[in-house]
Amino acid sequence: MLGRYPFRDRQTAHHNLMALAREDFLFLSHARCRHFLAAIAPRLLQAVARTADPDMTLTNLERVSASLGAKAILWELFNFNPPSLRLYVELCATSQFLSQILTTNPGMIDDLMDSLVVDRPLPAAAIKAEIAELTKGAEDLAPILWSFRNKEWVRIGTRDILGREPIRQVTRELADVAEAVVTQVARDQWKRRADRFGTPIRPGDGRRDRWAVLALGKLGGRELNYHSDLDLVFLHEENGTTSQAGRSISNEQFVTEVAQRVLKALAGDASTGPLYRVDTRLRPHGASGPLVVTLASFRQYFEESAHCWERLALTRARVIFATGGFGRHVSDAIREILCRPVHQASLVQEVLAMRRRLEESRRRNDLKRGIGGLADLEFIVQYLMLIHAANQPDLLRPNLWEALDALQRAAILPAAVHAELREAYDFLRTVEGRLRLIHDRAIADLPDNPAELLGLSRRLNYQATDPEEAVGAFLADADRHSSCTRTIFERYVGSPRAAE
């Protein structure tokens, strides 16, 4: 029977199919499981056969189903709701990332079924409200945060795979989940330190010292990808001491300890791995500088010492957590820094030199740093914002899609160029996201292996019957976007070779 389907290893396929017919818990009915599987088996195998890698798909499907438990419930759902069967198969076919989450987190069947049958993107406020409610009164936040993050990744990743929302919305929701987690951890750690040492006080007026968490990069732009690092900078208002008599410490020490504990909580432990990987090297003076600085020191650094690349990076800055309205002061300071006039000729040379170094450190098929890749797009937008911000401060948008729209409204980018860059950015971010869903790690290189390249093309909906035609169509689009982006980069910034 299995010979009618394109499995490379029929023995393993047969083993997986038989495993799907058995419940893994003694108190569940094997007969009921077999009954409902038999009802859907032809459709299930046909759906698996249509995927880019049927062997991998069936293996993932068996592992995920075993971890969820109560397989008969799934088969019964698929029998009465046939579209959910196709969606489940697509998830197991497309994403090692989500399959691994489901396999290592038993009991997520309700979350998965909700993701398969419920069409509901969530606004940031709803995500933050949910995590706040889940952690209310909890002594140990770690298991709650892990469960929440995994549930949200399954929800977002499933909607992504099924094409229910554009890549811009996917990255926005991934960023909102990360922001909600960081916010909850920051609140919790501040309270724990304040309970021990008292509240940090400003010496001038006796008011509370306020603090903020600043996000840069993809989190700052609210366009996070799967496996993206979180670029964080910690700021506070003013040096002083805490209010606890006999146990007082400096404000700097207090906020530094809070920041260290936030980083530790996000790093997880050896058994769990990181909740999120965090990079704090974008702070003033980089890894050699203090973990936490005052806003005045932050402002002074960018006025006197910051490198060109640091000002470019600051265009992606966004306050994701702050106390007592301090976030407005931080945002105003960043806006003031970025709106200072720049020496355009010097900026061009530095941007071109940086771009050339990035190119030389990666292969041409690197979607991020290769020629015409994401770095070209980001440099175009950041460069144009910096040179025009003094006269047009409304251009400053940390989100690249919004920044492109702002540049078009200001007539800096013609409509045709704007459309080309938007299309290229949508394409590149979608491909990058699919690569990370497939391989379950941060990756930006197109595969060299023909079978992997075909699998990627299929997962990006290049569905020509002839495999070579499908791969050819995908590579043609990739080359077109790469060439177009590099042409626009050279038109508005210059040629990286000129910096040699």
The domain total for the chain is 3
pLDDT at 116: 65
Residue 483's pLDDT is what? 95
Look at residue 444 in the predicted model and tell me its pLDDT: 82
The predicted structure's pLDDT at residue 173? 96
pLDDT digits (tens, 9 = 90+) for 144-156: 999 999 999 988 9
Is 211 in the same domain as 90? no
In a domain, 80, yes or no: yes
Q: Are residues 221 and 106 in the same domain?
A: no
- Same domain (yes/no): 315, 356: no
Select from 199, 300, 339 the least CA-distant residue to 258. 199
State the helix-helix crossing angle for 54-68 and 96-104, rounded to 10 degrees. Answer: 20
pLDDT at 363: 73
55 lies in a domain? yes
- CATH number of the domain where residue 444 is located: 1.20.120.330
Structure confidence at residue 500 (pLDDT): 53
Write down the pLDDT at residue 109.
66
What does pLDDT average to in each consecutive run of 10 residues of the chain (500 residues)?
92 95 81 93 94 90 85 88 84 85 76 69 91 93 92 88 88 97 96 93 88 97 95 95 87 96 91 89 94 96 91 96 96 96 91 89 82 94 96 96 98 97 96 88 86 88 88 95 96 78
- pLDDT computed for residue 149 by the predictor: 93
**Predicted pLDDT at 498:** 60
Tell me, what CATH number does 198's domain have? 3.30.460.10
The answer to whether residues 238 and 258 belong to one domain is yes
Last residue of one domain, picked from the residues 338, 364, 394: 338
Q: Are 178 and 322 in a shared domain?
A: yes
Q: Domain of 224?
A: 166-338
Asked if residue 87 is part of any domain, the answer here is yes
* Same-domain status, 173 and 312: yes
149 inside domain = no
Does residue 145 belong to any structural domain of this protein? no
pLDDT of residue 118: 65
Same domain? 319 vs 396: no
> Does 106 lie in the same domain as 48?
yes
327 and 183 fall within a common domain: yes
Residues 362 and 485 in one domain: yes
Domain end position, chosen among 313, 338, 363:
338
DSSP letters along 96-146, please? Answer: HHHHHHHHHSTT-HHHHHHHHH------HHHHHHHHHHHHTT-S--HHHHH
Q: Do 87 and 162 contact (CB within 8 A), yes or no?
A: yes
Whether residue 100 sits in one domain with residue 66: yes
Residue 228 and residue 219 in contact, taking contact as beta carbons nearer than 8 Å: yes
pTM greater than 0.85: yes
Q: Are residues 368 and 446 in the same domain?
A: yes
Query: Could you report the per-residue pLDDT of 57-93, keeping only the tens digit for each?
Result: 999 999 988 887 778 888 998 888 888 888 889 888 8
pLDDT of residue 377: 96
